[in-house]
Each structure stands twice: as C-alpha cells, then as structure tokens.
C-alpha cells in the first residue's frame, strides 16, 4: 500500500504557516516590543533593556516582586504536593493489580484535564466559601494542588508503564523487603518521570490565572493576577517584559520536563 504522506496534501504548507502564525505571532509581538525604547506599545523606538530594568527596580517592582514570590512559593509547594500524590497514584494504578473501580480511578485522576477551568474555578470558590475558608495563599495553594495532580500524573504514569515489575521481584528475591525494593529500585527508576511530572505541575501552577483569580481573595496576588491587575490600568511595556520573562521560564521548564522524560525512556 502506498504510504499516506500528509506533506503532499495540497495547501499543507500554507495551513501549517497560518497555524504557526496565529499561535505564535502575538507572543512574538510581546517579546519584540518588550525590548522597545519608547513608552508606546505599538511604535518602535529603538532597542533597549530599560523595561527589564524597570521590572526589577521601577516604582511597580515591589508589587511584582511580592507577587512573583507568592507564585514561586505556591508553585513549589503545589508542585511538590501534586507530585507526591501523583506518584502514589501511579504506583497504585500499576502495581496494585486489578482492583474494583480501577478505570473509574483513572478517569477521576484525569478528569480535571477535561473539566472547563472556569467550572473548577467557580466550584473551588463555592467550596472554600462553604467551609468558611477566606481567600489567601492557603486557598490558592489548595486549589493549585488539586488541579496540578493530573499534570504531574501523566509523565509519572508513562514512566511507570515502562518499568517491568520483574525489577522489584528481583529485588525481593535478593532479600529486599517491599519497602527496600521500593526505595532502592522502583523509586530511582521512576525518578525521571517524577522529576518531569514535578516540572510540569510547577509550571502549570506558576502560570495559572483563572482559578487563582477566583479563590485568591483581596490583597493577595500571584504574578499572573498582578499582571492582569496592571493591564486593567493600561498596558505599559514593563508588562511585556514580565510576560516575556514568564514565557522564557515556561519554555525552559517544559523543555526540561520533556528532555528528562525522554532521557529516562532511553535508558530502558
């Protein structure tokens, strides 16, 4: 049978270009204009790093620094917590044999990926109000922890899939208790997946706006909500500088997550 070659389809190249343009042109504009000399966000006034300097030393810098610190703390804690839960879930799903509601468990773990984010946001807000939690770092952390679990779970489960249970059997055959077999054999073998899962959960938490905005309460800002707040009073080029910095961090982390996940796969 002749192989179906998508690249030979008429218009393939044009459609590809259009997609790439629509996806990335706005980002390019933001990234390019963050190096603009002038205060205008549409007119090019020459190359300059002054807006980056403004981000770190300008009049608004204390606000953004506090927000960035909040974001970082929340992302580290929510990412770690979600990774821990996702790791436990992955081990249970792949090592507990067949149990009742296994498919249901799998669906439940991954459901947050399918639920519209605004629904999760509203539900979280209602939930916290109902149990009397006032908005703050705590509520943001809990909400992030919950929706980061499936993102951490995916790379860990993928990794787990490729680890044969004969390694743990071999360990136990060689006098390792189940705990030792887990700590000395399974956990090190899962590590690339766990690390990759953590990075993904971390970046998802760091970048989240919608859910955060609903549950954060007054006075507490993360970097995305602080940017949104600043934009409401008009877009200044320093916002573009911050956005570009965040974009850079995201790209680095996602790439890292992918590279680590892949390198782990190769040693198998």
Binding residues for other proteins, rule: CB under 8 A, are 164, 166-167, 169-178, 180, 184-185, 188-189, 267-268
Question: At closest approach, how far in Å is the CB of 198 from other proteins?
Answer: 19
CB 37 within 8 A of CB 45: yes
Question: At closest approach, how far in Å is the CB of 199 from other proteins?
Answer: 20
For other proteins, the closer of residues 57 and 268 by Cβ is 268
Question: At closest approach, how far in Å is the CB of 189 from other proteins?
Answer: 6
Question: At closest approach, how far in Å is the CB of 133 from other proteins?
Answer: 43
For other proteins, the closer of residues 44 and 167 by Cβ is 167
The β-bridge partners of 47 are 36
Alpha helix stretches (DSSP H) within the chain: 12-33, 50-57, 61-95, 102-114, 117-130, 137-161, 166-173, 178-181, 187-207, 210-215, 223-232, 237-266
Q: How far apart are CA 110 and CA 12, in angstroms?
A: 33
Q: How far apart are CA 240 and CA 230, in angstroms?
A: 11
For other proteins, the closer of residues 141 and 171 by Cβ is 171
Question: At closest approach, how far in Å is the CB of 235 from other proteins?
Answer: 50
Residues 6 or more apart from 241 whose CB is under 8 A from it?
Answer: 34, 51, 52, 54, 55
Please name which of 59, 23, 29, 34 lies closest in space to residue 239, comparing C-alpha atoms: 34
Residues 6 or more apart from 103 whose CB is under 8 A from it?
Answer: none
For other proteins, the closer of residues 88 and 177 by Cβ is 177
For other proteins, the closer of residues 134 and 177 by Cβ is 177
Question: At closest approach, how far in Å is the CB of 264 from other proteins?
Answer: 10
For other proteins, the closer of residues 168 and 221 by Cβ is 168
């Amino acid at each position: 049978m002749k192989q179906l070659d998508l690249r030979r389809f008429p218009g393939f190249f044009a459609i590809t270009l259009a997609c790439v343009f629509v996806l990335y042109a706005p980002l390019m504009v933001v990234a390019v204009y963050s190096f603009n000399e002038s205060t205008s966000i549409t007119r090019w006034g020459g190359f300059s790093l002054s807006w980056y300097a403004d981000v770190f030393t300008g009049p608004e810098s204390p606000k953004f620094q506090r927000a960035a610190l909040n974001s970082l703390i929340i992302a580290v804690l929510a990412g770690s917590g979600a990774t821990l839960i996702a790791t436990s879930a992955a081990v249970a799903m792949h090592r507990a044999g067949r149990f009742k509601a296994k498919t249901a468990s799998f669906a439940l773990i991954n459901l947050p990926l399918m639920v519209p984010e605004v629904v999760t946001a509203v539900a979280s807000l209602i939930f916290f109000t109902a149990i009397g939690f006032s908005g703050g770092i705590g509520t943001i952390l809990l909400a992030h922890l919950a929706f980061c679990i499936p993102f951490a779970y995916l790379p860990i489960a993928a990794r787990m899939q490729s680890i044969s249970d004969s390694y743990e059997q071999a360990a136990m055959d060689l006098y390792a208790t189940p705990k030792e077999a887990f700590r000395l054999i399974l956990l090190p073998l899962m590590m690339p997946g766990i690390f990759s899962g953590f990075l993904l959960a971390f970046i998802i938490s760091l970048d989240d706006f919608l859910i955060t905005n609903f549950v954060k309460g007054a006075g507490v800002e993360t970097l995305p909500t602080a940017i949104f707040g600043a934009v409401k009073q008009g877009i200044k080029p320093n916002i573009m500088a911050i956005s570009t910095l965040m974009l850079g961090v995201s790209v680095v982390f996602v790439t890292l997550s992918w590279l680590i996940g892949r390198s782990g796969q190769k040693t198998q």
